[in-house]
Amino acid sequence: PGRLAVFDGTMNSDLYQNILKNVPPSVPHLQLKLTWVLQQNNDPKHSSKSTSEWLQVLKKAQHLEHREQHLEHREHHLGHKEQHLEHREQHLEHREHHLGHKEQHLEHREQHLEHREHHLGHKAQHLGHREHHLGHKAQHLEHRAQHLEHRAQYLGHKEQHLGHKAQHLEHREQHLGHREQHLRHREQHLGHRAQHLGHREQHLGHREHHLGHKEQHLGHKAQHLEHREQHLGHREQHLGHREQHLGHRAQHLGHREQHLGHREHHLGHKAQHLEHREQHLEHKEHHLGHKAQHLEHRAQHLEHREHHLGHKVCSTIQVQRVRPRPPSSQATPLVNQATPPVNQIEFTQ
């Protein structure tokens, strides 16, 4: 599967180097590993100065190609990471927009409850004036009986309200317990995430240290090749130009690696900014939840007040239906002792 080299004449160093030029293209066809080894004996053609220098230049070129491929893979990974952070930022913007709509909805609901409370206040005032007008027409005993009935009804409603309030407090305690467990799990998750970021930072530091040593090794090797190029002929000048080209390529790769490091640092800051923004949105959502609970309690209070006004209207209508007591010496019952039916309202949490 590899390439064949055909030569004519006596084997020398130049001919041997032309044969070795077919070795790198044959590596992928032979399915060799990345760390393949070329073995040769102590033949003068193999151990000559020009052949050794040509092999050193070939080794350095292959090393720079592997390094360039590694940097391309790293740049591709950083691109995917940047796209992931952009999608996360868009998700947070949509979430913030949703919370804004939710806050507007709660404000409209609060305004509606305020209008409803104002309407119930006017209705209560109207019923108060009507009750005062009817009170002057009723008799003293009828007022006393109605007062006792209303007091009994009020005590019954107050007892029901206290029962519902106790149930609400029990549900609230359970909810707070579940919420505390959720916060503990979230704190543990943040701790594991911080540990993971610390390990990742250590790994990047070791990697940067390794790259520094690698660049120093390439610099020393380039200096050694420059000293040897001064004592060679036209063939050595050709190798010198090729080595200078490889040096410029190494510098370009170094600048590219620095650019990738700065880009990775920028992505880290961007991820921290998104985490702070997500925490701000969670606090805002928590505040809106408390506001919604407050509005629900206020609505329940208005329903209870409206129910109480309904009972008050029923009592005033019964007062209008009662006729005055006839002037007789016999005591006749004027008020029906049976209590009117009471409407019950169940409060559910």
Question: What is the phi-psi region of residue 327: left when phi exceeds 0, alpha when psi lies from -120 to 50, beta otherwise?
Answer: beta
* pLDDT above 90 for 343: no
Angle at 13 between CA 7 and CA 15, to 5 degrees: 20
* Residue 75 Cα to chain centre, angstroms: 25
Q: Which domain holds residue 258?
A: 246-299
Q: Number of helices and strands (H, E) in the chain?
A: 5, 0
CB 35 within 8 A of CB 47: no
Q: How many domains does the chain have?
A: 1
Q: How far is it, in rounded angstroms, from Cα 100 to Cα 88?
A: 19
Residue 202 lies in a domain: no
Q: How far is it, in rounded angstroms, from Cα 109 to Cα 102?
A: 11
Residue 273 lies in a domain: yes
Q: For the segment 232-263, what is each residue's pLDDT rounded down to a tens digit?
A: 678 778 887 888 888 898 888 889 889 998 98
Residue 1 lies in a domain: no
Residue 292 lies in a domain: yes
Determine the pLDDT at residue 320: 67
Residue 16 lies in a domain: no
Determine the pLDDT at residue 342: 37
Model-wide pTM > 0.75: no
| Percentage of the chain exceeding pLDDT 70 | 89
Q: What's the mean pLDDT when you consider all of the chain? A: 82
Written as one letter, the residue type at 52 is S
Residue 270 lies in a domain: yes
Please report which confidence band the pLDDT of residue 179 belongs to, taking 50, 70 and 90 as the band edges.
confident
Which two tokens mark 298?
């206020």
- Residue 183 CB-half CA count within 13 A: 8
Q: For the segment 299-311, what is each residue's pLDDT rounded down to a tens digit?
A: 999 999 889 998 8
Angle at 175 between CA 170 and CA 177, to 5 degrees: 95
- Residue 181 CB-half CA count within 13 A: 5
